[in-house]
Structure 1
Amino acid sequence: MSADCETWVALSALQHLLYCERQAALIHVERQWREDVNTASGRLLHERVDLPGHDARVGRRVERAVLLGSQRLRVSGRADMVEYQRDAKGAGWRPYPVEVKRGRRKAGEADRVQLCAQALCLEEMHGVDVPEGALFYGVEHKRAAVRFDAELRQRTEDAIARMHEVLRRQEVPVVVRAPRCDGCSLEPLCLPGVTAGQRSAQDFLTRWMDEAG
C-alpha cells in the first residue's frame, strides 16, 4: 500500500473507522472526543490492564502496554497485552497479541481487524509469523481466539489504507443517519438527527442562517 511518509495511522483508529468513517474523521481529523458511560468504563478497564510490566512463567512471558509499529503500513499504537510463547521447537518466542474489550463479542469485524493489525506490527518487529491472537471480553470473562488468515489480513490492510485516505483528505464525511448513531458517544457532537447530508454542525448552521436570511 502507499501512504504519505509523514502520516501514521493509530491502531485505535481502525476500530473507529469500521464503526463509522465519519466518527473516525471527527476523532482523528478534527480531534473531537466526548466520553460517555461506555467509553469511560472501557478506559478504566484499559488503565487497569495497560500498566507497563511483564510476567514470566514456564514457557510463557507476558508483556503489557506494548508499543507497536509497522514501517511498511505506517500504523502504530499499543497492544493491551502480548504473550510470548515458546515455539514448538523451544528455540524462540512467538508473540500472541491479546486485546481487551469492555463489552460482549460483536458481530462486526472491527475488533478482529484491530487485533490483526497488532499482529502485522509484531510480525514486522520480530521477523516471525503471528498466526493467532485473542480478544478478551470483560462482560463474558472469556477469550475468543482469532486466526489471522489471508482474508482477514487483506481486510486489515484495506482498512489501514482507507484510514490513510481519511487523514490525507482531511475532510469529515457527510452525515448518514444509521441505527448505530444512537450508541455513538459522539452523537451530541455529530448531531445526525439535524445535520443529515451536511459535513458538520457548522455547515448546517451556515445553511440554516442563509435560508433564514
Structure 2
Amino acid sequence: MEYQEDDYLMISGIQHFQFCRRQWALIHIEQQWEENVHTAIGDLMHKKVHDPYLTEKRKGVLVVRALPVSSKSLGFSGECDVVEFHQADDGVKLHGHRGFYQIYPIEYKKGKPKSTEEDILQVTAQTMCLEEMFSAKIEKAALFYGETRRREDVIITGELRQQVKNMAEEMHRYYERRYTPRVRTGKRCNSCSLKEICMPKLEKVSSVKAYLNEALGESE
C-alpha cells in the first residue's frame, strides 16, 4: 500500500505514540499542545541543530541538517536533524557529488538514553524514509543525547523495521477514524506535557463512578 502526500503523518509523532496513544491523538488529531520544561528544552536543542541552509563537507563526510524525508509506504514525512553521508565504495550516488556515500542519520534528543524505545523507533522510521528516498540499505543510525553529549549507535534490525510498520498502520487507522484512546494511567503521566488537558486522574474517577453506577443499577 502507498499513501498519498495529503495522508502523511508526522514522523515526530512516533515518539508521542509510543509514549502514550492518547497523548499522540490529543496532539495530532485534536490539535492540542501545551509546553512544559521538557518540551521547551527539546525545542531549544533542535533549534541549535537545525539550519536548513548549512551543509558541511569534511574529510570525506557530507553533513546535511534539517533534511526533509518522507515515505509513501509508511505514510510518514518530517525532517532528520542531521544526516551524514560518508564516502564509501559500497554506498549510493549523490547528485552533484563525486563518488559513492553511505547514509548515517542522527537524531538529537535532550536528556540521556531512555529505557523505552520511542527514540529508537523514531530514528528507525527516519532511516526507512531515507532508504526509500535514496534506494539504499542503511544498517546503522545514531541518537545524540544532550546530557551525555555523545552518540548512541542504533542497529536497524528487522524487528525494529517491523515495529515501525505496525505502528504506522495503527497510527493511520486511528487518524482515519479520528479516534482518541481512553486514559491508561501510569508513572509517565507525571511528565506528560498534556496532563492538564488529558486530566488522567479525573478520567479514572469518572470510570470508577460509571462502573459503580452500572453495578448498582444492575443489582436493583
How far apart are the structure 1 equivalents of 2:172 and 2:4? 8
Structure 2 equivalent of residue 60 of structure 1: 61
Q: 1:177 aligns with which of 176, 182, 185?
A: 185
| Distance change in 2, residues 1:8/1:44 (3 Å) | same
Structure of higher CA gyration radius = 2
TM-score of the pair, normalised by structure 1: 0.88
Residue 106 of structure 1: CA displacement?
A: 0.3
Check if 1:106 corresponds to 2:114.
yes
Aligned equivalents of 1:4, 1:59: Cα separation in 2:
36
Segments of 5+ residues of structure 1 without an aligned counterpart are 205-213
Q: How many pairs are equivalent? A: 200
Unaligned 5+ segments in structure 2 are 92-98, 211-220
Q: Is the 8 A contact 1:175 1:198 kept in 2?
A: no
TM-score (norm 2): 0.86
Select which of 132, 138, 145 maps to 2:140: 132
- Are 1:28 and 2:36 matched, yes or no? no
Identity %: 38
Within 5 Å, give how 1:136-175 maps onto structure 2. 136-175=144-183
| Partner amino acid, structure 2, of 1:25 | A
> 2:80 — aligned with what?
79
| Residue aligned with 1:196, SS | helix
Contact 1:174/1:198, CA 8 A, preserved across alignment: no
SS at the partner of 2:184?
Answer: coil
Residue 190 of structure 1 is matched in structure 2 by 198
Q: CA RMSD in A?
A: 1.9
Instruction: Output the amino acid matched with 2:163.
Output: R
What is the alpha-carbon distance in structure 2 between the residues aligned to residue 147 and residue 49 of structure 1?
A: 23
